[in-house]
Homo-oligomer: A and B are copies of this chain.
Amino acid sequence: MTGFAEALKNAGDLASAQIAASLDGTQGPIREAMLYATTGGKGLRAFLVMESARLHGIEPQNAAPSAAAIEALHAYSLVHDDLPCMDDDDLRRGQPTVHRKWDDATAVLAGDALQTLAFELVTQTGCPDAARLRLITTLAQASGVRGMVGGQALDIAAETAAAPLTLAEISVLQAGKTGALIEWAATAGPHMAQADTCALGQYARDLGLAFQITDDILDVEGDAATVGKAVGKDAHAGKATFVSLLGLEGAKARAQTLVTSACDVLSAYGTQADTLREAAEFVVARKS
Establish whether residues B144 and A117, one from each chain, have CB atoms under 8 Å apart when the complex forms: yes
Establish whether residues A149 and B116, one from each chain, have CB atoms under 8 Å apart when the complex forms: yes
Complex alpha-carbon distance, A145 and B136, angstroms: 20
Establish whether residues B117 and A119, one from each chain, have CB atoms under 8 Å apart when the complex forms: no
CB distance from A163 to the nearest CB of B (A): 17
A205 close to B (CB within 8 Å): no
A248 close to B (CB within 8 Å): no
CB distance from A237 to the nearest CB of B (A): 15
A157 close to B (CB within 8 Å): yes
Work out how many copies of this chain go into the complex. Answer: 2
CB distance from A1 to the nearest CB of B (A): 34
A117-B145, A129-B130 known; A123 vs B136 contact (CB < 8 Å): yes
- The size class of the interface chain A forms with chain B is 35 or more
A6-14, A106-114, A260-268: which one contacts chain B? A106-114
Establish whether residues B140 and A123, one from each chain, have CB atoms under 8 Å apart when the complex forms: yes
Establish whether residues A28 and B157, one from each chain, have CB atoms under 8 Å apart when the complex forms: yes
Establish whether residues B117 and A137, one from each chain, have CB atoms under 8 Å apart when the complex forms: no
A223 close to B (CB within 8 Å): no
A246 close to B (CB within 8 Å): no
Establish whether residues B123 and A105, one from each chain, have CB atoms under 8 Å apart when the complex forms: no
A108-B83, A149-B113 known; A120 vs B133 contact (CB < 8 Å): no
**Residues of B contacting A76 in the complex (Cβ-Cβ under 8 angstroms):** 112
A29-37, A51-59, A212-220, A279-287: which one contacts chain B? A29-37
- Residues on A lying within 8 angstroms of B by beta carbon are 23, 26, 28-31, 34, 76, 80, 83, 85-86, 103-105, 108-109, 111-113, 115-117, 119-120, 123, 129-130, 132-133, 136-137, 139-141, 143-146, 149-150, 152-153, 156-157
